[in-house]
Chain A
């Protein structure tokens, strides 16, 4: 059994550590600092924390101004409000002028759980990926989140980081390296490739382990960066394994699955199965039950692997 850590907890901790070493780091929130974990930063650096109240658009606008004034702002709220309510402020005030603002959106995806479909963002990666100048990260676990937050701080430009609500299994080592734009190979294999992001990468690893029992050798790639996508790694896997299953806690439209299909269609057309939310909104329920209900488990990945192998020429 691996340890379980919520990515938002890793964020809260990493942000405090960054704040200690760089006085340009500031944090903003919109009345959710206890949930997004910026409260830890607020406690240690009250002068560098700005609570906008329930006013996400103003929060992003203020972050843009802080960045234009030389600060490195991290602005947080739930993914649905970050990518949704504040979308045009992100577009016009942050992405268009390529300002150094980090949007760290917690509570992405359906594992928000009981709050229901109004609070479960299934579209944030798609929306953010479509913005020029935007970098989009979606780490898989606690250690990778900490590394991604450090990488985002060191990178000069707008970054959207999608994190989750619940605890997820740790799959990376404590001192995990993170390079924006680079995918990682978590398991070698030649029969097909699972390409995961966020918490679905752990499910892909479990699916690969179960297929190995039947003598099927699945490669597992993780994409902590959705944009810019690691094209070379995707194309290499397409060429070498000839079949791909993508896995994300997001709509199958516009996220990792779409990004992978775009790359493969242009560079190495192979059969692909996309696992994700099938163009529907979520609903209330416990996180695990929702993953099961919408087909986002390792069992569903195994079934998708069989389908894609059946389509392989």
Chain B
């Protein structure tokens, strides 16, 4: 049930998670700022509204699964998992340190709540297809969500998995594309054009929805509508890389650069206001 109050509280949660992300990136002075901020509204809706999961039981077989196929947005995932109670918030400051359970890219063997290992782009969706097949074989009612980068869609393996998901009629699988139009070397359309995204999924017989990936109500509605009989769904989420802090927005430079002291101060001021 989506009411005004739920939406407001999710928006407040997302703001607080943005601050957690920037603080942990600042502490490690290493990691991916832009793609964590573009994804966090979507992940907030998943972890704090839509997905069925339980931090007290990270191994609950019936939990919905989340695959962060764009694994470099690990800070966004860790912020969500800590806030949901999978591990103490203090751990966030150990991001990327030697011995930390918070690796540069998600590691299912180290971090409670992480469902698969990702980081090498293009591989997550195939794993999500496997998880969805396993859910169906096991008779589970849980669903599988996979978050993909738009640059990541350039990997051929993505389209092999897109084909397979439609072939098997995986209606328990939902992909969200973080369509922020940027990759590392610049704008997707200039580096290697993979647009229009929605049409490609539609051609593979997917159920396609286009949403504003920073409009919390639209995200929640999209996730609720992401069910079509015998077809997987993709939410093409139009987003802004670095969203929420003007100095990081739409800049390729902040793909893999952590905030400096001054940038963090500015960001926390903006977000805290």
Contacts and interface: CB of A to CB of B under 8 A. Distances in A.
Does chain A bind chain B? yes
Interface string B22-36: 000000101100000
A53 B98 CA distance: 31
Interface in B189-225: 191-192, 194
A84 B120 CA distance: 10
A295 B35 CA distance: 34
Contact of A53 (B30, B96, B183): B183
A131 B211 CA distance: 47
A284 B192 contact: no
A80 B71 CA distance: 15
Contacts of A283: 98-99, 103
Contacts of B91: none
Interface in B171-194: 183-185, 188, 191-192, 194
Nearest to B184: A31
Nearest to A50: B192
A118 B120 contact: yes
A250 interface: no
Contact of B96 (A35, A81, A114): A114
A116 B103 CA distance: 6
A52 B102 CA distance: 31
Contacts of B97: 284-285
Nearest to B154: A53
B180 to A, nearest CB: 14
Contacts of B31: 114
B185 A118 contact: no
Contacts of A29: 185
Interface string B109-127: 0000000011111100000
B64 interface: no
A289 B96 CA distance: 12
A119 interface: yes
Contacts of A81: 120
B62 to A, nearest CB: 28
B28 A114 contact: yes
Contact of B99 (A32, A57, A285): A285
Interface string A29-63: 10111110001000000000001111101100000
B244 interface: no
Interface residues of A, number: 32
A111 to B, nearest CB: 13
Nearest to B118: A118
A54 B152 contact: yes
Interface residues of B, number: 32
Interface string A286-311: 10011001000000000000000000
A116 B151 contact: no
B107 interface: yes
Contacts of A51: 185, 191-192
Contacts of B100: 284
A53 B192 CA distance: 5
A52 B98 contact: no
Nearest to B150: A54
A31 B191 contact: yes
Nearest to A35: B184
Contact of A118 (B96, B104, B154): B104
B105 interface: yes
A117 interface: yes
Given A31-B184, A115-B104, A284 B96 contact: yes
Contacts of B107: 116-118
Residue of A29, A34, A81 contacting most chain B CB atoms (<10 Å): A34
B155 interface: yes
Contact of B191 (A53, A119, A289, A293): A53
B88 interface: no
Given A53-B151, A285-B96, A285-B97, A118 B119 contact: yes
A115 B156 contact: no
A52 B121 CA distance: 14
A54 B155 contact: yes
B103 A117 contact: yes
A20 interface: no
Contacts of B152: 54
A167 to B, nearest CB: 16
Contacts of A85: 120, 122
Contacts of A57: 156
Contacts of A118: 71, 103-105, 107, 117-120
B96 A55 contact: no
Nearest to A55: B154
A114 B192 contact: no
Contact of A114 (B30, B71, B99): B30
A51 B28 CA distance: 30
B104 A114 contact: yes
B152 to A, nearest CB: 6
A139 B28 CA distance: 30
B104 A54 contact: no
Interface of A: 29, 31-35, 39, 51-55, 57-58, 80-81, 84-85, 113-119, 283-286, 289-290, 293
8 contacts: A29-B185, A31-B192, A54-B154, A114-B31, A115-B104, A118-B71, A119-B119, A293-B98
